[in-house]
Amino acid sequence: MKTFKTISLTGIILMICFSLSAQKIYNPQADAKSDIETAIVKAKKEGKHILIQVGGNWCPWCIKMHRYLYSDNAINELLEQNYVFLELNYSKENKNLEVLKSLDYPQRFGFPVMVVLNAEGERLHTQNTGNLEKDKAYDFDKVKSFLYNWRPDALNPEYYK
């Protein structure tokens, strides 16, 4: 009976691990243009900027960035308070070339790449995420600095008088 419980528990753990690893972050069928338009409406309403992470499910660093943004409390809080966040797919199924053209070709920096838009949908900054790395991970101070320096308050002229 003890062996049966151990085997059952191991099987359940393996199924959970498999389902989590099979989880897709990017949706190749998503309408990126519509998603950005929806984000603009939300950003205007909430007084936030829009942060777009361009990448794909094929990209290990894209998955790492997604997990990093949600796993570190300080980073996630900065993200949630200042940005409407969306992930824009780039894959062989859907490269979203027209949308990327409208964002001034951020894919030139590789993947993932971050694009910051203001609440009007105007591109403010494109961030090469390679500059946010340290060794084989993302660097807390670099990611925090990026998010902090492109938040709406950072670009408010009233703070610089």
Burial class (CB in 10 A: 0-12, 13-18, 19+), 115: buried
Asked which of 5-9, 22-26, 38-42, 141-145 is least confident by mean pLDDT, the reply is: 5-9
Distances (CA, A) of 60 to 13, 70, 112, 131, 137: 23, 16, 9, 16, 11
Contacts of 98 (CB under 8 A, 6+ apart): 33
pLDDT at 3 over 70: no
- Stretch 45-63: mean pLDDT, rounded? 98
Structure tokens, 90: 């780039």
Does residue 139 or residue 7 have the better pLDDT?
139
| CA-CA-CA-CA dihedral for 71, 79, 28, 34, to nearest 10 | 160
pLDDT of the residue at 4? 58
Please state, for a pLDDT cut of 70, what percent of the chain lies above it. 86
Contacts of 100 (CB under 8 A, 6+ apart): 54, 88, 90, 106, 107
Structure tokens, 135: 């060794």
- Give the tens place of pLDDT for each residue, 77-126: 999 999 999 999 999 999 999 999 999 999 999 999 999 999 999 999 99
0.75 surpassed by pTM: yes
pLDDT at 20 over 50: no
| Pairing status of strand 83-89 against strand 133-134 | unpaired
Q: Are 116 and 123 in contact (CB under 8 A)?
A: yes
What distance in Å separates the CA atoms of residue 31 and residue 21, rounded to the nearest whole number? 24
pLDDT of the residue at 1? 61
Please state, for a pLDDT cut of 90, what percent of the chain lies above it. 84
What distance in Å separates the CA atoms of residue 110 and residue 95, rounded to the nearest whole number? 13
Structural domains in the chain, CATH included, are 21-155 (3.40.30.10)
- Stretch 8-16: mean pLDDT, rounded? 58
